[in-house]
């Protein structure tokens, strides 16, 4: 199981409220750490699903956005305003770093490395581990096209790290059918798969509502209709 608190301990993700000193010459190292984190996110998501059987999900795998102390505080009754704020700040800080890492990794590995994903780069990224037969399947191509449309919130023709962070935040919510434990600082395999289905649909649906909420919560921005 991949744990983001590991990244925090490595100095990659910084707990809320702490300064982020960046001595000269450290930029390359930080980039390498972000890339590694992005690769871990990618591997974790890939290991949740099974191309041979869409109904089979690997329930043992989850992506932790926050650490267990965050969840302990989140579960506490009668939280003070300061505690609520601490939870909010820490969550947002972590999810923004994950959005950066995941976008950087995807674009460095499957794109031109300019930091944003065009539709073609996103398609290359999404189909990376697909069996050949699926890669050329028109239906699978359409699903990727649909997903890109949902994720390009400002409709500028590419996915940036803000849109990616909004996506990661949105899928933490899981679904409303009782199978998910909801917003809890972890993306379960069920959260991921249920939201992936919604993302692949052509029509406006619940994923768009979640993305509109998270894009605004994280960056104060509204999606372009």
CB under 5 A: which stretch of 16-24, 65-73, 114-122, 217-225 binds Ca ion? 114-122
Nearer to Ca ion, 99 or 174 (CB): 174
Q: Any contact of residue 62 with Ca ion (CB under 5 A)?
A: no
Interacting residues with Ca ion between 74 and 113 (CB under 5 A): 107, 111-112
The whole-angstrom separation of Cα 154 and Cα 90 is 25
The whole-angstrom separation of Cα 76 and Cα 165 is 26
Q: Any contact of residue 162 with Ca ion (CB under 5 A)?
A: no
The whole-angstrom separation of Cα 2 and Cα 189 is 13
Please report how close the Cβ of residue 68 comes to Ca ion at its closest, in angstroms.
14
Please list, residue by residue across 85-108, b when 16 or more beta carbons sit within 10 angstroms of its beta carbon and e when fewer do: ebbeebbbbbbbbbbbbbbbbbbb
Among residues 22, 156, 202, 209, the one that binds Ca ion under rule CB under 5 A: 156
Please report how close the Cβ of residue 20 comes to Ca ion at its closest, in angstroms.
25
The whole-angstrom separation of Cα 5 and Cα 56 is 28
Binding site for Ca ion (CB under 5 A): 107, 111-112, 114, 121, 152, 154, 156, 172, 174, 184, 191
């Amino acid at each position: 199981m991949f744990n983001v608190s590991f990244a925090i301990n490595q100095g990659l993700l910084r707990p809320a409220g702490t300064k982020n000193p960046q001595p000269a010459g450290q930029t390359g190292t930080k980039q390498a750490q972000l890339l590694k984190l992005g690769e871990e996110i990618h591997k974790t998501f890939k290991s949740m699903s099974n191309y041979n059987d869409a109904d089979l999900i690997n329930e043992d795998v989850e992506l932790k956005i926050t650490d267990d102390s965050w969840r302990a505080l989140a579960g506490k009754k009668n939280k003070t305003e300061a505690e609520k704020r601490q939870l909010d700040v820490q969550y947002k800080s972590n999810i923004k770093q994950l959005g950066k890492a995941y976008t950087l990794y995807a674009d460095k590995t499957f794109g031109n490395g300019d930091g944003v994903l065009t539709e073609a780069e996103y398609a290359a990224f999404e189909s990376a581990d697909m069996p050949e037969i699926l890669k050329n399947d028109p239906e699978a191509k359409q699903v990727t096209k649909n997903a890109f449309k949902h994720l390009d919130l400002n409709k500028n023709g590419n996915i940036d790290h803000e849109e990616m962070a909004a996506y990661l935040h949105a899928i933490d919510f899981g679904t409303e059918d009782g199978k998910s434990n909801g917003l809890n600082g972890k993306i379960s395999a069920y959260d991921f798969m249920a939201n992936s289905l919604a993302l692949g649909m052509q029509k406006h649906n619940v994923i768009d509502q979640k993305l509109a909420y998270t894009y605004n919560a994280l960056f104060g921005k509204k999606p372009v209709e």
